[in-house]
Amino acid sequence: MTRQRRVILAELQRSACHPTAAQVYRSVRERIPRISLGTIYRNLDVLSKAGLIQKLELAGIEKRFDGTTENHYHVRWVSCGRVEDVSVNELPPVESTIQGMSDYEIVAYRLEYIGICPECRKRRGSSQRKKPLESGKEESSGTERIED
């Protein structure tokens, strides 16, 4: 594995924020100042195809990357654009149900929760929880802002 890939992989494995390629680029440049954004994209693609990282293609935002490769769940905060891991102990046996209904073999899955983080709820003055998709539409600020 090249030094560039090792550094990118190490950055993703220590990050909890599911960074975008641009965020990975800024972080890696501290260790490899002459690396280009194009090199970051190519290496993220190689690492993803090799199964060493996850490429998160979440609805409505640019791709994020995750150094944790085992199946787990994410929550995407629509107001601030952050993505976080979610610990869920029990879900309905969807995988076995799908496999029982067809000859398909499930090899991986992704589950994305969408919500508004506590900080954004406080900023907008709403401490009251709303039901998801209450109005039939997903809430969005129109722009996705990423914070580290």
CB atoms within 10 A of CB 131: 6
- 17 annotated ligand binder: no
* Cβ–Cβ < 8 Å for 53, 45: no
CB atoms within 10 A of CB 141: 12
Handedness of CA 10, 16, 21, 27 (dihedral sign): negative
First to last CA, the chain: 28
Q: What are the binding residues? A: 80, 117, 120
Q: What are the binding residues for Zn(2+)? A: 80, 117, 120
